[in-house]
Amino acid sequence: MDNQERLSSFTVNKEKCAGCALCVAACPMKILKIIDNLCIMTDENKCLECGSCRDKCPERAITVTSSDISSQTAAKNRCH
């Protein structure tokens, strides 16, 4: 029943984020932006969980945890 497929597990610690936008520049998918000095995810479905934003963040405000659903998703895409 629970058919959740979280494509991204990206979170920003609001207390730590300084709005410097280094993560925005680092994101290959261009899905991050700054609103009111806070990093915002604009489209989680496009997130690659590549970790570039997390690695660039000087405040270590970003957490990206990879799930291993990608192999399962590939298996599910088979049709008969």
Q: Of the candidates 5, 57, 68, 75, which one interacts with ligand SF4 according to CB under 6 A?
A: 57
Half-sphere exposure of 12 (CA within 13 A, CB side): 24
Helix or strand (DSSP H, E) at 68 = none
CB-based contact 14:38 (threshold 8 Å): yes
Report the site for ligand SF4 in 14-33 (rule: CB under 6 A).
17-23, 26-29, 31-32
Under rule CB under 6 A, residue 7 binds ligand SF4: no
Smaller CB separation from ligand SF4, 55 or 72 = 55
CB-based contact 9:50 (threshold 8 Å): no
Q: Of the candidates 49, 67, 71, 73, which one interacts with ligand SF4 according to CB under 6 A?
A: 49
* Least gap, CB of 13 to ligand SF4 (angstroms): 8
Smaller CB separation from ligand SF4, 70 or 78 = 70
CB-based contact 12:21 (threshold 8 Å): no
